[in-house]
Amino acid sequence: MSVRKNTVINMAGAVVPTLVMLVTVPPYLRLLGEDRYGVLALVWLMLGYFGFLEMGLGKATANQIARAHDAPAEERSEIFWSALLLNATMGCVGALILWVAGKPLLTHLLTRSPADFRQEVMETLPWMSGTLPLALVSSVLTGALEGRSRFFAVNVLQVASNLLFQSVPLTVAYFNGPDLSVVIPTAIGVKVLMNVPFFIVCHRVLPLSLVPRFSLQRARSLFSFGGWVAITGIISPIMETADRFLIGVVTGARAVTHYTVGVQLATKVRILPASLTRALFPSFSAATDKGEELALSALSVLVGLMTPITVVGLLLIRPFETIWLGESVATHAIPVTQIILVGVWANSLAYIPYNFLQGSGRPGHVAKLHLAEALPFLALLYGATSLWGARGAAVAWATRVAADSALLFTLAGIGRAAARRVALPMGIVFLALFACGLESYRWVHLGLAALLVLCVFAWTATTPVGDYVLGQLRRRAQRQTVTDTPQSTR
C-alpha cells in the first residue's frame, strides 16, 4: 500500500477521535465541572509521564520489523516477544514506583484543588499502579503492526479504543455522578482491555509463535535503538506538558481547564503530520540513499497542506470557541489557542526531520538536542508564566517548538533546502496571527483576513498539493469531455 493511501488511512483514524473530543468536552465540563476536569487532565498528564518506561521499544519494534520485512516469520516473532517481555518488565518497575511515590506526587500536583477531589483521585491509585504494565505494552503492539505497514488495522483499533475511552467514562459519570474514583478506573480499564484485539491482529499479520521467544541479543539491539528514543520519550513529555503543571501550581485547576481546552483544540491539527510521518517511517527505516529526497518531498507536501489549515484556523478560532465552549471559558481559551496554533504549524514541520533521523538510525541526534533544549525551555516557561500567566506559557511553548524544528532540519542535513520551502508560508502564518489582533477593528480585520485567505490558497496552488489537485481536476475534465463528445456513426 502506498504512502499516500497509508496517510489517508492514518488521517481518517485520527479525525474520528477528534470529532468525539469536540462532542464530549462540553458534557464533560457540565458533568464534572471545570475544577474536576482540570484535576482529571493533571492525572492523565502524570500517567503519561510514566510512559518513559516504555524505553522507546514501540518505535524500535517498528524499525526492526520494517527492516526484517523479507526475513522469516520466526525472526519477526522473536523481535516482537523480546520487545513485549522487556516492556512488561519495565511496566512492573513503573507500577512499583507509582505505588510508592504516587500519593505524595498527587498531593503536590493537586495542592490547590479541593480536598474531596484529592481523595477521589487517591482512591484510584491501586488501579493506576496495577494496570500500568498492561498499558505500556500497547506501544509494542502498535509498533509491530506499523512495522508491517498495517495502518488500516492499527487505525480501526485505535479509533475503537478512543471512542470507548471518551464515551464510556462519560456515560458512567452521567449515571453514577462526577466521582473521579469511578471515572478514572473506568477509562484505564477500557485502555487495558483494548490490548486483546491488538494482540490478535499481531498474531495474524506477523505471524506470531504463541510460545514466547526471548533473545538477549535482540533485546540489546532493541535497547540500543530504543534507549535514545526513550530519552526523547522522557524529555519530550516534560517540555510538552510542563506548561499545564506550572499553571496548575501557580493559579489552580480552573486555569488548567481554560488552557487545556485551547491546547487540545490547536494540537489536533498535528493529526496531519503525524499521519504522514507514521506512513513514511517504514520507508525511512528501509531507505538507503534516497532518504533526504523523500524527506524534502514530504516537507513540500506538508507545508502546502498545513499553511492554509493554520491560516483559516487562526481566523475562525474566536467564533468557533465562543459557540463550542461558551463566552466565559472561550474568553480565556481563545488567545492561548491562537498562539499555540502558530507553534503547532512549526512543530508539524519538525515531524519530517524527527522521523527521518530516527528511521535512518540516528535517534541519538534527536535525544541529544532535546536534552540540550530542556533547561533553557523550562527557565523560559517559568519566567513567561510568572509574568503573563497562560498566554506567557503559550508563547514559551511556541518559541521552543519553532527553535526545535529549525534545529532538527539542520541536524538532518536539509536545513537550507527546508528554509527555502518554509520562508514564505511562515510569513503568511504570522500575518494571520497579526490579523487576529485586529479583531476589534472589524472592517480592517475582515479585509486583511480575506486577502490572506486568497494569498494562501494562491500560493498553495504552486505547491505539490496544488499540482496534485489541479491534475486531478484536469484529468476529470478530460474524461468528462470524452464522455460528452458525440460518437460518429458509420
Sequential DSSP letters for 112-147: TS-HHHHHHHHTTHHHHHHHHHHHHTHHHHHHHHHH
In this prediction, residue 49 carries a pLDDT of: 74
In the predicted structure, residue 467 carries a pLDDT above the cut 60 = no
Whether 488 shows a pLDDT value over 50: the answer reads no
Residue 473 has pLDDT above 50, yes or no: no
Averaged pLDDT, 203-220: 85
CA proximity to 390, closest of 332, 458, 468: 332
What's the pLDDT score for residue 289? Answer: 64
In angstroms and rounded to an integer, the radius of gyration of the C-alpha atoms of the chain is 24
Cβ(41)–Cβ(248) below 8 Å: no
The region of weakest confidence among 15-19, 183-187, 269-273, 369-373 is 15-19
Q: Tell me, what's the pLDDT at 489? A: 39
Per the model's pLDDT, the better-predicted residue between 338 and 450 turns out to be 338
Looking at residue 490, its pLDDT comes to 36
Is-contact 165 300, C-beta < 8 A? Answer: no
230, 54 contact by CB (below 8 A): yes
What is the per-residue pLDDT across 291-329, written as a single tens digit (0 to 9) for each? 788 888 888 888 888 888 898 888 888 888 888 888 888
Distances (CA, A) of 205 to 13, 62, 188, 356: 19, 13, 27, 25
pLDDT surpasses 60 at 166: yes
Across 188-205, average pLDDT: 89
d(C-alpha 378, C-alpha 372), whole Å: 11
Give pLDDT tens digits for 20-54. Answer: 888 888 898 888 887 788 777 777 777 777 777 77
One-letter amino acid identity for 470? L
pLDDT of residue 411 exceeding 60: yes
Percent of the chain with pLDDT over 90: 17
% of the chain beyond a pLDDT of 70: 87
Q: Which three cell numbers stand for residue 55?
A: 524505553
pLDDT for residue 196: 92
Query: Cα 103–104–107 angle (5° rounding)?
Result: 85
Amino acid at site 39:
V
Lowest mean pLDDT among 6-10, 219-223, 372-376, 425-429: 6-10
Rounded distance, CA 148 to CA 217, Å? 22
Query: Contacts from 307-310 at CB under 8 Å and sequence distance 24+?
Result: 307/345, 307/425, 307/428, 307/429, 307/456, 307/459, 307/460, 308/456, 308/457, 308/460, 309/269, 309/272, 310/269, 310/341, 310/342, 310/344, 310/345, 310/429, 310/432
Mention every residue, 6+ apart, whose C-beta is less than 8 A from residue 100.
none
Band the pLDDT of 404: cuts 50, 70, 90: very high
pLDDT tens per residue across span 46-83: 777 777 777 778 888 988 898 887 788 888 899 999 99
230 vs 216, higher pLDDT:
216
Residue 353, pLDDT > 90, answer: yes
For residues 181 and 478, which has the higher predicted lDDT (pLDDT)?
181
pLDDT tens-digit map of 224-239: 777 787 788 778 878 8
Local structure of 428: helix, strand or coil = helix
- Grid coordinates belonging to 389: 500567566
Average pLDDT over residues 415-426: 90
Mean pLDDT of 100-118: 78
Residue 454: pLDDT over 80 = no
Side chain identity, residue 142: T
pLDDT band at 444 (very low <50, low <70, confident <90, very high): low
Higher-confidence position of 484 and 411: 411
pLDDT of residue 48: 75
Helix or strand (DSSP H, E) at 489: none
Residue 486's identity, in one-letter code, is: P
Q: How far apart are the first and last CA of the chain?
A: 45
State mean pLDDT over 133-155. Answer: 87
- Mean pLDDT of all residues belonging to the chain: 82
Dihedral angle of Cα 347, 353, 358, 359, to the nearest 10 degrees = 120
pLDDT of residue 363: 85
